[in-house]
Amino acid sequence: MQLAPALNTRLVPPIGAARAPENCRSESAAVTPAADDVYPEGVMAAIKVFLSGGPGHFPEEHRVQVIDSLESSYKCQFGAGYEHFRHAGDYVSVEGERLPVLLWHTRTFIAE
């Protein structure tokens, strides 16, 4: 399966194989469910997303993640730094599922 050309064409790993690494997280605890989604108090939304861009050697198996909000930046530790991704409103179909695309926007380094 391939992404739309506007989103840098690349092969997408099977969704079932993707797992969020322990060191990747959203930078906000805010929950942003869709207007028609209702979550019991204290239950966070689980939004499956596709990470686009970043270093060429960023593992394909980490491209699909589950996050709690599209309103904040998502950061993932990779090598000696953090890759930061943001949702800009784009979506892509992966294995028949419509996922929000988080675009890479910057890298920060871990202070020693």
Domain boundaries, the chain: 1-28+43-51+71-112
- Contact between residue 61 and residue 76 where contact means Cβ atoms under 8 Å apart: no
Beta strands in the chain (DSSP E): 24-26, 47-52, 64-67, 74-78, 81-94, 97-109
Query: Among candidates 42, 12, 26, which has minimal Cα distance to 76?
Result: 26
- Contact between residue 86 and residue 75 where contact means Cβ atoms under 8 Å apart: no
The three-state secondary structure class of 36 is coil
Please tell me the pTM assigned to this model: 0.62
Arithmetic mean of pLDDT, 8-35: 42
- Condensed to tens digits (0 to 9), the pLDDT of residues 59-77 reads 888 899 999 999 989 999 8
